[in-house]
Structure 1
């Protein structure tokens, strides 16, 4: 994928502790974007244990983790790594950029 970035929202619309979901305009991949202490992270919105959206889970700003509501798997929002069973594989992490007053992300997998 080249430089096809997907607009998430204006920077002021995603405050620390908040998350939004978008679909990559090219691949159709669901992406969850989280503001953790002013840093913006993007992960595939899909639990690696079972195909279920992570964004319906609970974000823990102390641990910087998101918990899947289905079976309680937790992932670090900063790098996508699995923090506990039943998930053992990480979720895909995507690049983000702040540009022109907005937050952007993209599925950069080939």
Structure 2
């Protein structure tokens, strides 16, 4: 379902990166989710427990970059996301900051 991959850290833990479709309540497009966990199965379980039921990691086609690994290791939750870059014009898009996962799953605020 999603492009992704993982990197094993020297301490035995892993960082998993997945490109997922954005939840419908949060808009359209796709997001890049980075998870720090003890192993790949626990990383996917963390996402499934948040309501992302159809999350699977098949292969290692898009492993996390060193910058993504650093970002998730420095985040207290160990679970972050940002909008996935567009494949057609990656150099023209400004890089977005990493956000905590709860901001993705929170329902949008209605503006009056």
Which bracket does the TM-score occupy, shorter chain normalised?
0.3 to 0.5
**Larger-Rg structure:** 2
Bigger helix share: 2
Given the two structures, how large is their TM-score scaled by the length of structure 2? 0.33
